[in-house]
Structure 1
Amino acid sequence: MNTYLELIVFSLAIGTGATIVMDIYAIINKRFFNVPSLDYGLLGRWIGHFKKGLFSHTTIIQAGKIPHERAIGWMTHYLIGITFAFLLLLIWGTGWAYKPTFGPAIAIGLLTTIAPWFMMQPAFGFGIAASKTPNPKQARWRSLKAHTIYGVGLYLAAWVLSRIIS
């Protein structure tokens, strides 16, 4: 297979798989431990306000609702997951997908925590690394755990893919 085509196909498969693992983790946390996860409608609301030139909010919760914000948020969530898988494969090469190792996957998973802490949470009005939330340490810890699970998901998805393509 062409390397560029591999990059795209592998990014789609690994990123989608890793994001599914992250979502399963969120479902387990909510169902068994009553731990809420991000409402992806808020992510969609944030994205929806871009066309109005609004990139940050005093609080995204009070920002005007956007038509189909939940669907936009979920699509964005998966596109972000695919993009970070693409980054992993750009750095370590598509050969990594044939023989995945845990280190690169967990490193990317941990690095993805930068996005919510320094981009999304401030833009949502929650402050850098959730500093303006009622319990910043808890919010940071939850974000770090979720993104670590995403890293585990990158490895697991690549492992499954490697069994299919070998």
Structure 2
Amino acid sequence: MFAFIFYSVLIGIGGTALLDLWAHLLKITLGLPTAPWHLVGRWFAGMRNGQYVHRNGIANSPEVANELKIGWIMHYAIGVLFAAALLFIWGVQWAHTPTFFPALLVGLVTVGAGWFILQPGMGVGVACSNAPNPTVARLQNVVGHVVFAIGMYWTALLVG
């Protein structure tokens, strides 16, 4: 059990960190905005009061204390949970002899969490359907999760 938790944490943090580096690279090279982690924190914080959906958009909901911190913590916690899912399905031995396909599959499947849970809950619609440019947002989601998969794979190569 210790190995499962240990590798889930390391691989999840590694994948998430590479995703964040990718987002920063896109910001400095293409001027693309980074994820609004304060709004993600606001969404998660609202759940404790039973508010799971912000139909008028999360930006129109009242600010919450420590929302940026909550957003960042949840961002990394979810990365760890996705890595745990990978290790649950393929076993802890995957961390010792990783192959790319399982990481890629988990990365692509987890796009659905954003499209069907997070984005509708934040008022952006299913798969960013209410975003100013849904196609660009969807492409960024898919590419970002592939980068997350690469990060999990590389981290497993380093720590396994």
Query: TM-score interval w.r.t. the shorter chain?
Result: over 0.9
Identity of aligned residues (%): 38
User: What pairs up with 1:68-87 in 2 under 5 angstroms?
Assistant: 68-87=66-85
Q: 2:89 is paired with a residue of what secondary structure?
A: helix
Aligned to 1:54: 51
Match of 1:45 among 39, 42, 46: 42
User: What pairs up with 1:132-151 in 2 under 5 angstroms?
Assistant: 132-151=130-149
User: What pairs up with 1:107-126 in 2 under 5 angstroms?
Assistant: 107-126=105-124
User: C-alpha displacement at 1:144, in angstroms?
Assistant: 0.6
Q: 1:54 is paired with a residue of what secondary structure?
A: coil
Amino acid at match of 2:12: G
Match of 1:22 among 19, 24, 28: 19
Amino acid at match of 2:66: H
Between the aligned partners of 1:67 and 1:145, the Cα distance in structure 2 is 31
Give the TM-score of the pair, scaled to structure 2: 0.98
- 1:35 partnered with 2:32: yes
Q: Deviations over 1:46-71 (max 9, x none)?
A: 01111211000020011110000000
Structure 1: gaps spanning 5 or more residues: none
Between the aligned partners of 2:140 and 2:75, the Cα distance in structure 1 is 17
User: C-alpha displacement at 1:36, in angstroms?
Assistant: 1.1
**RMSD across aligned positions (CA):** 0.6
Q: Deviations over 1:94-123 (max 9, x none)?
A: 000000001001111111100110001100
Give the TM-score of the pair, scaled to structure 1: 0.94
Q: 1:133 is paired with a residue of what secondary structure?
A: coil
User: C-alpha displacement at 1:37, in angstroms?
Assistant: 2.1
Q: 1:55 is paired with a residue of what secondary structure?
A: coil
Between the aligned partners of 1:112 and 1:41, the Cα distance in structure 2 is 21
Runs of 4+ in structure 1 displaced over 2 angstroms?
A: none
Match of 1:11 among 5, 8, 11: 8
